[in-house]
Amino acid sequence: MLYFKEMEHRTIIFVTGNEHKIREAEAILSPLGIILEQNDCGYPELQEDELESIAAFGAEWAATMLNREVMVDDSGLFIEALGGFPGPYSAYVFDRLGNERILKLMENEVNRKATFRCVIGYCCPGAKAQVFTGEVIGEIAKESRGNSGFGYDPVFEVDGVTFGEMGEDEKNRLSHRYRALVRLAEWLRVRH
């Protein structure tokens, strides 16, 4: 999956309440010697249109509060025909509308292009946050398909297959989260 040597063992606190994100990140980072510890303390989320500023603020806040090396994940689904909606409000929209109502909004749309973006905010206490972005371009499916993954996975497809239809390993090789985590891992390897 990744093409560089394992780093010296290190532990990073992953501030999230989402078990799915933890599992994905562990599968990607543990072969490199990075151990994740989950902390569900949460962090104040800025009401911004840019995932990068939300993730940076969250990482700095969590690093200060926990006095530890931390990472946060802010992800969003940006649907072109809906002007980028739900974007940074994806989790809130999913909780309120779910996939079926997103599909209803897209019912008569010809342009089904969508981008899944993930921004990992990483920070040590007293430092400025670093952000690492990954994205994957796909389409909104015409119907929900598959039981794997979480959130919008059953309605987001790449090359005709939804993330919900993919196995964990297949999704982890091409997902937006994988791409952001690889950038984080490469940065850590070079600087630490």
Place of tokens 């690889």: 182
pTM, 2 dp: 0.89
Question: Does residue 77 lie in a domain region?
Answer: yes
Question: Does residue 5 lie in a domain region?
Answer: no
Question: Does residue 89 lie in a domain region?
Answer: yes
Contacts of 3 (CB under 8 A, 6+ apart): none
Angle at 78 between CA 75 and CA 84, to 5 degrees: 130
**Residue 152: closest CA among 181, 179, 115:** 115
Question: Does residue 108 lie in a domain region?
Answer: yes
Q: What is the pLDDT of residues 96-134, one digit of tens each?
A: 999 999 999 999 999 999 999 999 999 999 999 999 999
**CA 103: distance to chain centroid?**
21
Question: Does residue 82 lie in a domain region?
Answer: yes
Question: Does residue 18 lie in a domain region?
Answer: yes
Question: Does residue 84 lie in a domain region?
Answer: yes
The set of catalytic residues is: 74
C-beta pairs of 144-150 under 8 Å, 24+ apart in sequence: 144/99, 144/100, 144/103, 149/20, 150/18, 150/20
The kind and range of the H/E element at 183 are helix 176-191
CATH number for the domain harbouring residue 151: 3.90.950.10
Q: Which two tokens stand for residue 49?
A: 């249109």
Domain count, the chain: 1
Q: What is the pLDDT of residues 68-83, one digit of tens each?
A: 999 999 999 999 999 9
Q: Which domain holds residue 148?
A: 10-191
* Separation of alpha carbons 169 and 163, rounded Å: 11
Question: Does residue 2 lie in a domain region?
Answer: no
The pLDDT mean for the chain works out to: 91
* Separation of alpha carbons 162 and 32, rounded Å: 28
Packing angle of the helix pair 176-191, 19-29 (nearest 10 deg): 50
